[in-house]
Amino acid sequence: MTTTDFGVDCLAFDTGGTVFDWHSGVLESFRRAGVNAGVTADWAALTKTWRKLSTDYVKRLTIENDGQMDQDMDDVLHATLKDTLSAHGVRGLEDEADSLVHGWRTLPPWPDAVEGLARLRTRFVVVSFTILRTALVIEASRRAGIQWDAVFSCEMTGLYKTAPASYRNTARWLDAPPDRVILATAHNNDLTAAHANGFRTAFIRRPAEWGGDQHPDPQPAKEAEWIADDIVHLADLLGV
């Protein structure tokens, strides 16, 4: 691997929210499902609830099981979709469940993602490091024209972020010391966990991640070494 002035060889990107715009993608899937089923609802509210319930579900299971989870994200999305619809009193979408879960594979990239990642790959090894399913990231990336050097999904080991072993696995698979890998993310819990496991860290601002509502991480954690407005800006900061 090529040594750089920053002492970094690789970048590992959180993917859902940092590279892909889950809110716009899931919202559109709900709208299509509503048209198909003849159902109307506050689709933006359902989108946010589904994301919150699914991430809380993963967090709860992994905390209870030392980072391990024997379900994949499709299982999680199916389980929490039922709770999401129930929480909003929405009926009539039961037959759309498979298409709604599959809709996560069509998430659009943020406008800066394709250019920014391509630039970074000219100098660094760039991988997806995600709790999303491998097949989901592959399909969404191919649709978007995004190329990775590898996709590291937590489903491969059943060890999910923010378990320390998930970060150690990523460094091991890259054959790189953690301090030669930047974890790039829009989420402070991911960033601080990576820092605690020896990674360098970059915070990517995504103020519109929750559809323009207040972002849970409006400011980067103090452990952030680079703070970028988007992925193109991160490439600028890294001199690419």
- To the question of pTM greater than 0.75 for the whole model, the response is yes
Local structure of 224: helix, strand or coil: coil
Is residue 31 over pLDDT 70? yes
Q: Residue 4 has what pLDDT?
A: 55
The residue type found at 59 is K
Dihedral sign from CA coordinates of 215, 144, 46, 73: negative
Domain limits for position 227: 10-21+109-237
Are residues 31 and 17 part of one domain? no
Residue (of 203, 172, 183, 179) closest to 3 by Cα position: 179
Mean pLDDT of 3-15: 87
Q: Are residues 119 and 92 in the same domain?
A: no
For residue 238, the number of C-alpha atoms closer than 13 Å in the C-beta half-sphere is: 33
C-alpha 16: how far from chain center = 2
Does position 209 have pLDDT exceeding 60, yes or no? Answer: yes
pLDDT score of 1: 38
CA distance 201 to 184: 6
Same domain? For 163 and 79 the reply is: no
The verdict on residue 2 lying in a domain is: no
Q: What is the CATH number of the domain that holds 71?
A: 1.10.150.240
Q: Evaluate whether 195 touches 26 at the Cβ level (below 8 Å).
A: no
d(CA 174, CA 180): 10
Q: Are residues 98 and 117 in the same domain?
A: no
Kindly state whether residues 14 and 45 are assigned to the same domain: no
What value does the mean pLDDT take over residues 116-138? 97
Q: Give yes or no: residues 90 and 198 share one domain.
A: no
Q: Is residue 83 part of a domain?
A: yes
Residues 126 and 205 in one domain: yes
Q: What percent of the chain has pLDDT over 70?
A: 98
Using CA atoms, how far residue 33 sits from 41, 58, 85, 86, 97, in Å, is 11, 25, 13, 16, 9
Amino acid, res. 210? W
Which sign, positive or negative, has the C-alpha torsion 67, 70, 75, 80?
negative
Tokens standing for 11?
């970048």
Among 53, 71, 105, identify where a domain stops.
105
DSSP-H helix ranges across the chain:
22-37, 43-64, 73-87, 97-102, 113-121, 134-144, 164-174, 188-196, 231-237
Count of domains in the chain? 2
Per-chain mean pLDDT for the chain: 93
Read off the pLDDT of residues 76-109 as tens digits, 9 standing for 90 and up: 999 999 999 999 999 999 899 999 999 999 999 9
